[in-house]
Chains A and B, each alone.
Chain A
């Protein structure tokens, strides 16, 4: 890591964000809305990547954090008639709490046990959604189109259904997640997390309480995922059990692996490519699970470092 790396990083990230911002003025309507979706889901993947890419912990239950945010925010709007921002805030607080609680238990295990335990907690979250159906309306979920009041800032009000508002809200969310993850990686805490990824015992030997660092990483990761869930509920007006399913836990894993584990831009690249790939292939086959499966297998055999990982290896060693 050379001394000018942080500056290069800052410029690259700023460039990416400005590019994404300007993109909304030239994209046709269809891709405009696709990109809003990609940016929200990429924020979820950025949260996931903090845990997998920079702490070395693979979770198979991240959908529980995403759906916690989504359901808490959705229920606040649907059942209690709150407006978007307070609902988002409550979702955020509860996700922080849930992430810490789950982390405190799950982090008592390590290695493959951690994977299995997160998978099971994720499944429990899904079952809870089905079980408490007086609030969640079971498998089908609910829409927020009628209940959600427009966002009022000063004297102007923004409707959550307005495509331009959607795009910019999604962009803002992604920008926050991307900047946070870059700041984290460059910070001393991030260095300790990477040390844990590389060799936990040695990090312990150096006097760090690795459990607390991992708990911090998991809480931050879960919180960003939950935030993405809350925003998803508000912008796309739908809250449903599919977002708590195990497939939705594996999705960020796939996106992150494809884009590059342990690269801050990888989640965005992976999410974008997968989204368009499935979109593109759905024209001639409905067997998209086969594509997902094949990509997963081929990635681990042929390119475990992912796309941005390859770019880092070949050209840009400083890439965070």
Chain B
């Protein structure tokens, strides 16, 4: 075993590096999903489309600012979460609120939303994948290979955003409201927590996080209207393994899935990685149906 690691060290290192970058981005996307589920008890199937919208908006900002990738990137970091968050808030008010957050109806409604967003992007953005230039370009030279510096920045920024969300949850008034609503919405309401607006805001924050992840990822992997499905499924895997509604579980699971994805992608094939991730889910479910950190849910 150790001899194998010595022989393959560059590859192992690359897998770890790639896996960590994937894990950070995945954690960001899955955190949005997990937050929405935790507080609202809603599974948002359109979550991946919010990610895709973030990427598409990043492309739009990049073009709007002419040939200045850094300016476009910074603009996108503001525009994408605001626009996508607003869209999410609107769909919460117009759709989810009306069906009283009934679990199955919301899933159907968000599937509907997924199709609507996909079609609109297809109509106005087109079916082709469009590249976006990275805001900063440099290579980090390791003894065995050079690695894209931007990827490391993506991981770093994702980490900052994760910390920011955690800070929001534990230090702000909104965070307090969110945790109160998560524990017991009815009791929270009697104590004067405006749960209706908390729901809208949580839905907007979840969508905003996905959009930000989209902005960060787009220089690595182009923008196209179908890109939302894969991160959605991966986030589902993460959220199931970590336990629905548990933010800690989401983070731990994102790293398990991200790094194993990195390893299998480097040593075998990406398709196989996705298939094995599902087998991992099946194994977790057989051993512990509520996931690693999940509590019993009604």
Contact = CB atoms under 8 A, between A and B. Distances in A.
Asked whether A and B interact, the reply is yes
A130 B274 CA distance: 12
B112 A295 contact: yes
B288 to A, nearest CB: 9
A297 B109 contact: yes
Contact of B111 (A109, A117, A250): A250
A290 B236 CA distance: 24
B112 A293 contact: yes
A105 B287 CA distance: 10
A68 to B, nearest CB: 15
Contacts of B269: 131
B105 A119 contact: no
A38 interface: no
Given A58-B104, A119-B233, A293 B114 contact: yes
Contacts of A289: 115-116, 118-119, 122
A144 to B, nearest CB: 26
Given A120-B233, A127-B271, A297 B285 contact: no
B112 A297 contact: yes
B107 A109 contact: no
Interface in A164-180: none
Contacts, number: 117
Nearest to A295: B112
A94 B47 CA distance: 34
Given A287-B123, A301-B95, A293 B43 contact: no
B278 A111 contact: no
A76 to B, nearest CB: 23
A116 interface: yes
Contacts of A257: 108
B297 interface: yes
B271 A116 contact: no
B108 A253 contact: yes
A115 B45 CA distance: 11
A216 interface: no
A116 B275 contact: no
A131 B272 contact: yes
B239 interface: yes
A106 B282 CA distance: 8
Q: How large is the interface on B (under 10, 10 to 19, 20 to 34, 35 or more residues)?
A: 35 or more
Interface string A83-108: 00000000000000000000001101
A290 B103 contact: no
A253 B278 CA distance: 23
A206 interface: no
A199 B239 CA distance: 26
Contacts of B298: 111
A130 B109 contact: no
B3 interface: no
A105 B275 CA distance: 16
Contacts of A20: none
B233 A304 contact: no
Given A113-B240, A116-B240, A127-B274, A108 B109 contact: no
B99 A300 contact: yes
A116 B278 contact: no
Contacts of A300: 95, 99, 105-106, 108-109, 112
Task: State the majority secondary structure of interface residues on A.
Answer: helix
Nearest to A124: B278
A145 B131 CA distance: 41
Given A123-B233, A287-B119, A290-B120, A297 B95 contact: yes
Interface string A109-151: 1011101110111011001101100000000000000000000
B237 interface: yes
A292 interface: yes
A297 B108 CA distance: 7
A296 B240 contact: no
Contacts of A116: 43, 236, 239-240
Nearest to A261: B104
B173 interface: no
B108 A105 contact: no
B175 interface: no
B107 A58 contact: yes
Contacts of A293: 111-119
Interface of A: 58, 60, 105-106, 108-109, 111-113, 115-117, 119-121, 123-124, 127-128, 130-131, 246, 250, 253, 257, 287-290, 292-297, 299-301, 304
Given A123-B278, A296-B109, 16 more contacts: A60-B107, A106-B285, A112-B244, A116-B236, A116-B240, A117-B240, A120-B233, A120-B278, A127-B275, A287-B119, A289-B115, A290-B116, A293-B111, A293-B112, A297-B113, A300-B109
22 contacts: A58-B107, A105-B285, A106-B285, A108-B285, A111-B297, A115-B43, A117-B240, A119-B236, A120-B236, A120-B240, A127-B271, A128-B275, A130-B271, A290-B115, A292-B112, A293-B115, A293-B118, A293-B119, A294-B116, A296-B111, A304-B99, A304-B105
